[in-house]
């Protein structure tokens, strides 16, 4: 069994996005149709991540009861039945189902918008944990998973997405967005592969790229040579 983080190479963290009743329960106006059926796969993946000592981070939504921090594009739906408010319970709540709920040692943060990185401490936390790879699961694939994926790549992280642990409102939306993320450089795998094999993916992070440049460098050659002074 591989236990993370290893001395080098891939150093992952698992980021669980918005797996809350307000997005899972059909009674909620914000429910994602395919989300609830991913809960068993998410539970199995989380169990394996903890077994492998991979840090688990929950990035979840929470809206003020007066709706003052709800996205303007979502407010009209949210106002039908205010969901995800602080301390809420039941089908519209911020609660996470017991089988995938945080455990002692997991990390939790509130994300105010779609990306888990936007206006949160996620990037700082990952760097403090010396993580260079994020494993994404949760909902919804075209919004929160996708924006988190693109932000992670922009911040020089490797990205893996557990395809059966994320969800959309239709299979067509799901497949189109997974294809887009694969095209931009994310690695797609399902939870069974992760459980059976762990993570086997190329390290495309900036530090790996610099190491590759360094190994190809001629003796005495500067990777980033200084610009020649211009003579006036």
pLDDT digits (tens, 9 = 90+) for 150-206: 999 999 999 999 999 999 999 999 999 999 999 999 999 999 999 999 987 666 656
pLDDT of residue 62: 81
Higher pLDDT among residues 82 and 147, named by residue: 147
Check if the beta carbon of residue 37 is closer than 8 Å to that of residue 68: no
Closest CA to 153 of 187, 119, 178, 194: 187
CA distance 166 to 3: 25
pLDDT digits (tens, 9 = 90+) for 191-210: 999 999 998 766 665 666 66
Average pLDDT, stretch 90-103? Answer: 94
- The strand pairing partners of 57, in sequence order, are 15, 107
SS3 content of the chain, % helix, strand, coil (to 5): 35, 15, 50
| pTM score | 0.83
pLDDT digits (tens, 9 = 90+) for 24-74: 999 998 899 999 999 999 999 999 999 999 999 999 988 888 888 888 988
Q: How far is CA 4 from the centre of its chain?
A: 18
In the chain the domains, ranked by start, together with CATH numbers, are 21-215 (3.40.50.850)
pLDDT of residue 68: 87
pLDDT of residue 30: 87
Average pLDDT, stretch 69-98? Answer: 88
pLDDT of residue 70: 82
pLDDT of residue 37: 97
Indicate if the pLDDT at residue 4 is higher than 50. Answer: no
Buried b (16+ CB within 10 A) or exposed e, 39-59: bebbbbbbebbeebebbbbbb
Indicate if the pLDDT at residue 222 is higher than 90. Answer: no
Token pair belonging to 34: 């395919």
pLDDT of residue 74: 84
């Amino acid at each position: 069994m591989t236990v993370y983080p290893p001395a080098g190479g891939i150093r992952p963290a698992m980021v669980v996005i918005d797996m809350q009743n307000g997005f899972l329960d059909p009674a909620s106006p914000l429910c994602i149709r395919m989300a609830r059926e991913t809960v068993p796969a998410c539970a199995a993946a989380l169990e394996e991540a903890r077994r492998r000592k991979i840090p688990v981070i929950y990035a979840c939504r929470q809206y003020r009861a007066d709706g003052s921090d709800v996205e303007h594009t979502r407010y009209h739906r949210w106002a039908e039945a205010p969901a995800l408010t602080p301390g809420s319970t039941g089908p519209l709540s911020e609660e996470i189902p017991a089988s995938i709920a945080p455990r002692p040692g997991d990390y939790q943060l509130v994300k105010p918008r779609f990306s888990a990185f936007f206006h949160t401490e996620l990037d700082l936390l990952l760097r403090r944990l010396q993580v260079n790879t994020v494993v994404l699961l949760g909902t919804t694939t075209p919004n929160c998973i996708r924006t988190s994926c693109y932000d992670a790549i922009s911040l020089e992280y490797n990205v893996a997405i557990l395809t059966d642990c994320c969800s959309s409102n239709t299979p067509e939306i799901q497949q189109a967005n997974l294809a887009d993320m694969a095209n931009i450089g994310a690695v797609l795998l399902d939870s069974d592969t992760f459980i059976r094999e762990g993570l086997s993916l190329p390290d495309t992070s900036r530090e790996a790229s610099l190491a590759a440049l360094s190994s190809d460098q001629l003796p005495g050659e500067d990777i980033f040579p200084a610009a020649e002074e211009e003579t006036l």
